[in-house]
Structure 1
Amino acid sequence: MWCFLLCCVLWFPGLLCTLPAATHQPLHEYSDGDVIIGGLFPIHLQPNHTFPSSRHVSCNEYHFQQFLAAQMMIFAIKRVNQRRALPDVTLGYDVYDTCGDVSLAMRMALNMSIDQLDPQCGLLPGRKPSSAPDPRVKAVIGEGSSEVSIAVARILTLSSIAQISYAATSELLSKKAKFPTFLRTVNSDVLQTKAMAELVKTFNWWTVGIVGSDDEYGKYGSDGLEDQFNAMDNVCVDFKFILPAHLDLSGSKAQKQLTELMDTIGNSTAEAIILFTRESNVKLVLEAAIQMNLNRTWIASDTWSNSSDIKELPGIEAIGPFFGIAFKSHIVEGFADYVSSMVEEKSSNPLWEYHKLNHPPCQSAPQEKLNCSLTASQCMETRCLVHYIFWDLSLNIYLAVEVIVNALSSLMKCDGEKCQRNTSFTAYELLNEIKNVNLTVNDTHIVFDDNGDPMLGYDIVAWNSPSSGTIGEYLPGGKINLPPSLVATMANVTFTAFNCSKTCPVGQELKKNGMKCCKHCIVCSDGYVSSEIGTQNCTKCKEGMPLFGIAFTLCVSCVLANLLQIFVCFTFSQNMGGWLRKVNQPPAVVAILFGVQLVLCSIWLACFPPSLQREPHKKAFELKCDPTSKALFGAVLSYVALLAVVSFLFAFKGKKLPDLYKNASFVTIGMLLVLVVWIIFIPVYLFGDGVYTEAIKAAAVLVSSHSMLCCHLVPKCYIMVFRKELNDEKAITDYIRNHFEQKGINVLKS
């Protein structure tokens, strides 16, 4: 089928002949060499077909920055020849202006691949003799847009010609089953959408709007963005609007679509609007936004984030700050001088003459204003033209040339002085070498993965904001680097410009209130609670949260068992010493005392389980635990109090023991505090009512816990850390013996 298509196209020589001279004739620049590298650039942005015949094509909307991008390819090839990177081999070029048009680009791709077609096709017609040299294109650089690159890739795949794009980012081109010869020196949109999502997350934007277009770039990019945001918890896509691939306002339908988009943006609560479409569409959208004074935060995709045409739109500073994802940018040494030399040698440079023919007339300006602050149209005749170079695209084009040269050097086995193999190789052989390239150019490392994609990262740019220019970067691993002060400022925003909440006070949560993405704070529903400032969601109240009695009993039981052990150790009363020694079993004491409380609490929870009560108080409400059975609740507290009293008595009795065990005095104080606190708390809690009841309960638990912690454990920790010589079995034994000998009691030595 493809052979038939090629034959049909090639049968009419007029389709491939040089186009007649015209004011806006597409550029075609050719230079002979041993190996020819093709180039496809959208130097014009819109074709103008003359019907019924399509032989005569002219183009509108000359884009002189794309003209400079084409010059970067020519400059890079000339530099390779000058430095003799490929000894005895000269590189040539065959550069075409595609006018951003698919059909025109396909013709040019066919023209470059004629000699590489499979001779077994058998259907190629004979061609008339021509004085022009036969094309010997072995690789092609371009095109810039994804839509055109996809069409070109289908043609070049037939001849196994490597295609290296410098700006086509659609993820569709990563599918090697469809585009096996396509590679690029720019990241796939998969990485760009991840970078945008990370930027939105870092800047604490919760609602976004997406504007895409009905082409490979805008469709896959906007869908990828939506998928990224849907996978994030705190980001809501307020709207997604798809424009035509080429927004032409000459038609009523396009005017209606643009008006509808402006209404959508104007009524949206999106904190940031992402424009993921081609530059020509963006220009029309922002011109309409300026006219309607729509002040928003705008996020630029890589197609227009560094566009001087967009930055110079009159009134653009009034519609809000711009942040963008941009290709990594480095100045290619020598190219600025090369462009300046084109200006100085304009009388003898055919490319400069072409630029003059296609560039709009310069605006007159006083001599003192001929400086680099002029607009692009005023700058044509001055050296400041170099300030309008797309350095990001220029670097990508330069990388593409260096990749091809590196692959050629490997394929022809060049060693700096000579090449062991001549240029009689196929485009397929060169393609395989290009796929395996691994090199570093100007601190940029490039290697292709299995999909023909590099991993280069992005620059984060900003304009019309306090921080302008390149403000950070996104690394391939997913990390984003931005000024900490800017990130902190964005993160501390608690309300959007549309009065949508981002945090809530205690007892409230964020809920959508009639609008798709805008959230407001509302009181938690019955059975739910939020206990921290800034909480976004209420959580369900847990059952049985009333069990402090069991935990407190366990703590007091351990203290009591310890005191009992000390008391027995120093008691030699004939009347009571015997039975005390029998109960001196700490594990058993703790288990029994704890078991009694466990039985009480189990009966309480089984027969009269506590319930959650909600009591309104003005704009908020109080959640409290109703014990249901005050008798059982009192029994639990009384049992704790009983253990505390017994512990107090043992501690008070043991305060006269030797100094080594002086912690009995501290425990006495601790138990006294526990008793006082609970004696005061019980009547207040059982018979009191009010918003502070739960606070009193919490205070009682905290004071009791800390009193036991400090009075019982701190002295022991002091001995273990600062008096280690006392924390020894022999030292303790000697201490006890001395104590009894002082009282006239003989102690047998073992």
Structure 2
Amino acid sequence: MIYTIREINKRTPRVLPDFTLGYDIYDTCGDVNFAIRATLQLLKNQSDPQRCLIPASFQSALPEPQTKAVIGERYSEVSIAIARVIALSSVTQISYASTSEHLSRKWKFPTFLRTISSDEHQTRAIAELVCKFNWKSVAIVASDDEYGKYGSDNLVYIFREKKNICIEFIDILPGNFYEDLTKVNELVSKINRSSAEAIIMFTKDTNVRPIMQEAINQTFNRTWIASDSWSTSTKVSQLEGIEKAGEVFGFISKMNEVPSFKDYVMSTFNGTTNAILEHYLTHYPLCSNRPDENISACFTTNSQPGSGQCQDIRCVADNIDQDELYNVYLAVQVIVEGLRHLLKCDNQQCKHSGKFTALEVTVYNCSKTCAPGQELKMQSKKCCKDCVPCADGEFSAGNGEECQRCSQAEFSSPQRDKCLNKTVEFLQWEDPFVIILSCLGVFGIIATFVFAILFTMYHSTPIVKAVGGYLCFLELFSLLACFCVIFTFTGKPTRVTCMLGLPVFGLGQSLCMACILANLFQILVGFNFDPKIGSWMKKLNRPVAVVTIVFGVQLAICVSWLHFNPPFPDNETLNKAIMLQCDKGNDKFFIAMLGYNGFLAVSCLLFAFKGNKLPDLYKNARLITTSMMLFLIIWILLIPIYISLIGKYKRGIEGAAILISSYSILCCHLAPKCYIMVFKKEINNQNAITENIRKHYEQKNMAVIKS
């Protein structure tokens, strides 16, 4: 300021002819009370607020000039106190550093001006910085003064306006909270616990220093945003180990160099007449005046007066507070321009702007980019979203994008980063399990034809009559249908194969067991000697009628099933495959069909158990009991297996159950008869049967009449 005033006064031609600029300097110590006292001292002879101009011909007898302007203060809190006082005398105040938006209210502070941007520009610049780095969560620390309070309020308003920035916490602390270590420690603990990505501190450097010191001690490595009041403060920047606190992004007004000021500083120390500099040099002497001093580093302002340290003159000019330097220079120039206008001097235009330079930085805490297969989702934290893995069947390409569902024909990859096409599965003919089933089915068909030939060759023998005579051919035909139907369970399901599968099996098994039931009924009637019971049983002994009625019930069930809601081709969507299968259409018809066959099996079992007490050369009743027991066990075991089984082998299990139940009848009921026909011909005659009956009743002490 002194340099600028001197330059204006000695400039030729004179900027203000016949006028000389002077100055008084008051040290407010950054305190409101000292500032008001100094202001009152400044204005003590300002008797007439309306007399602002001094004519060129006027010779004042007053010790002070009537026209006054105030440059300062630095802190907004102090500037507001000064502005309220000097506004009463209409004295102009120009601040070079006070940025509080509150000072922009002209109806409150009509004479206040400044050469620095207000906090409105600074806070919007801070918000732009936060948005540029895609930070979603911030914390705000401010002092309870005009600077911190209005700055933080403006930040809150802007962040809420943007809607996508979350404020984790706001701490408004006393104006000089650095004096209260308890509050400082509480604040540091809160910052350490928070997940805020950036800590914005809107307060002066004296308050910031202890916070950053603790951040260094605890190696916070956080991201800090400095307001202009401490962004270039040496009190903070020269802390030992400051890099441990993390990255600091500060805001200052665009700086310009004051013309020839550095040369002035260098020359002023050689025979200065500046009282302030003279006072300064008494505490911090130049090393050039002490030739024995070894100058290894620049003097720092952390040194205490009288410490005995000296300073290199080359470092003095470089360490002047450059961010405020040009603003002070502008403040003097504004006063001069104002005077020139009032005194009708030539006008000059001055243009200036609050410009901010964008920076590059990496995010600190909140994750904005997740790995592929993860989405950003709000979990336990108040502001920050976490990377959460996508669920099964969902995918996310990356960058925290929301998880999307894969289509029914797709499944998510193991990394959940994309969808893969599901494979279409069904029982293939080349499957080993299918090959085994097919071989067993073919063997069953061949065996059925062989048995049919043998039964045809020996149709008039007693053993054929013992298994029902012509009914055995119906039984063989039904078994042939069951063996053939297993081939419908292999390959891609079609409407025809689905409709043939289970209904044909149900009909075949019912016809087979109807023939067995009629045969057992014949045996019971033949050996029943009770005249009362025997008469009505003989009336019911109509094999064709029995087979027709028993089979007719199942035929009605299956025809209704196929008519109203038949099985149809369908697919079951699994995690990684689409399973082609047959839907049963209506489960009630399937349960009715299977339940009726179970009822017939139990009936045959009861009749066979009853027939165990009768003479039986060919062990017919015992073998039927075994085959029916196998049938019931197989289908009872199938139910839980079928319900729990998932996959293409579900249909194969159905085919296997049909094969086993068909083989149980073929092997236990019919195969022993064929063995007798071929290898035991001696018992396949009437005499052997008669002898067997005689021995049976003789053992029970019953007389047998031979006819």
**Normalising by the residue count of structure 1, what TM-score does the alignment of the two structures yield?**
0.50
Query: Does the residue aligned with 1:393 lie in a helix, a strand or coil?
Result: helix
Q: CA deviation at 1:322?
A: 1.7
Would the aligned equivalents of 2:390 and 2:396 in 1 still touch at CA under 8 Å?
no
Alignment of 1:406-445 (within 5 A): 406-415=337-346, 439-440=349-350, 445=351
Deviations 1:414-466 (A, max 9, x none): 35xxxxxxxxxxxxxxxxxxxxx8733xxxx23xxxxxxxx4224xxxxxxxx
Contact map agreement 1:109 1:152 (CA 8 A) in 2: yes
Alignment partner of 2:46 out of 116, 132, 138: 116
Q: Matched residues in 2 for 1:133 and 1:380: separation?
A: 39
What's 1:89 paired with?
19
Q: 2:171 aligns with which of 225, 241, 244?
A: 241
Alignment of 1:438-477 (within 5 A): 439-440=349-350, 445-446=351-352, 455-458=353-356, 473=357
Q: Counterparts of 2:101 and 2:116 in 1: how far apart (Å)?
A: 11
Aligned counterpart for 2:375 among listed residues 490, 500, 509: 509
C-alpha separation in 1, matches of 2:270 and 2:92: 36
- 1:345 aligns with 271
Q: CA deviation at 1:376?
A: 5.8
Change (3 A) 1:366 1:286: farther
The answer on whether the counterparts of 2:376 and 2:388 sit within 8 Å (CA) in structure 1 is: yes
Deviation at 1:198, TM superposition (A): 1.1
2:398 is matched with which residue: 510, 533, 540?
A: 533
The TM-score, its normalising length taken from structure 2, stands at 0.53
3-state SS, counterpart of residue 95 of structure 1: coil
> 1: distance between equivalents of 2:81 and 2:382?
39
Q: Distance in 2 between matches of 1:507 and 1:613?
A: 19
- Do 1:170 and 1:217's aligned partners in 2 also have CA atoms closer than 8 Å? yes
Contact 2:134 2:368 in 1 (8 A): no
1:400 pairs with one of 323, 331, 337? 331
What does the per-residue CA deviation read over 1:77-115, in whole Å, with 9 as the maximum and x for residues that have no partner? 111111121122211112211111112211222222234
User: Matched residues in 2 for 1:81 and 1:381: separation?
Assistant: 30
Q: Which residue is equivalent to 1:301?
A: 227
- Whether 1:520 aligns to 2:354 is no
Q: Distance in 2 between matches of 1:360 and 1:292?
A: 37
Q: Please say if 1:173 is aligned against 2:103.
A: yes
For residue 434 of structure 2, what is the aligned residue in structure 1? none
Q: How does 1:469-618 map to 2 (within 5 A)?
A: 473=357, 481-482=358-359, 486=360, 490=362, 496-497=364-365, 500-504=366-370, 509-522=375-388, 532-537=397-402
Q: CA deviation at 1:621?
A: 12
Distance in 1, matches of 2:173 and 2:348, equals 39
Residues 608-657 of structure 1: CA deviation (Å, up to 9, x unaligned): xxxx9999998869999xxxxxxxxxxxxxxxxxxxxxxxxxxxxxxxxx
Would you tell me which structure has more strand in proportion to its own residues? Answer: 1
The structure with higher relative contact order (CA 8 Å, sep 6+) is 1
**Residues 275-294 of structure 1 correspond to what in structure 2 (within 5 A)?**
275-294=201-220
CA gap of 1:525–1:133, structure 2 versus 1, over 3 A, is farther
In structure 2, the CA distance between the partners of 1:88 and 1:265, relative to structure 1 (3 Å rule), is: same
Corresponding pairs, count = 420
- Is contact 2:5-2:332 (8 Å) kept? yes
User: Taking structure 1 as reference, are residues 359 and 109 closer, same or farther at Cα in structure 2, changes over 3 Å only?
Assistant: farther
Compute the displacement of 1:391 (Å): 1.6
CA contact (8 A) 1:87 1:414 kept: no
Paired residue type of 1:515: K
| CA pair 349-395 structure 1, distance change in 2 beyond 3 A | closer
CA separation of 1:133 and 1:294: change in aligned 2, threshold 3 A:
same
Contact 2:411-2:576 at 8 Å conserved across structures: no
Q: How does 1:67-466 map to 2 (within 5 A)?
A: 73-83=1-11, 84-118=14-48, 133-249=63-179, 254-346=180-272, 348-356=273-281, 367-372=293-298, 377=303, 378=309, 380=311, 382-415=313-346, 439-440=349-350, 445-446=351-352, 455-458=353-356
Kindly state the Cα deviation for residue 280 of structure 1 after the two structures are TM-superposed: 0.8
Does the C-alpha gap of structure 1 residues 614 and 142 become closer, same or farther in structure 2, counting only changes over 3 Å?
same
Is 1:687 the counterpart of 2:585? The answer is: no
CA contact (8 A) 1:185 1:396 kept: yes
Q: What is the root-mean-square deviation in Å for CA atoms of aligned residues?
A: 4.1
Displacement after TM superposition at 1:187 (Å) = 0.6
Whether the aligned pair in 2 keeps the contact of 1:114 and 1:135 (CA below 8 Å) is no
**Whose Rg is larger?**
2
**1:505 Cα shift?**
5.9
Amino acid at match of 1:509: E
Cα offset for 1:686? 5.5
Unmatched runs of 5 consecutive residues or more in structure 2: 51-60, 304-308, 421-491, 496-568, 579-707
SS in 2 for 1:354: helix
Superposed, which structure 2 residues align to 1:630-709 within 5 Å? 687=571, 689-690=573-574
Secondary structure in 2 matching 1:116? coil
User: Is residue 201–residue 225 contact of structure 2 (8 Å, CA) maintained in 1?
Assistant: yes
Paired residue secondary structure (2:24): strand
Whole-angstrom distance in 2 between the partners of 1:622 and 1:393: 56
Task: Give the AA of the match of 1:320.
Answer: G
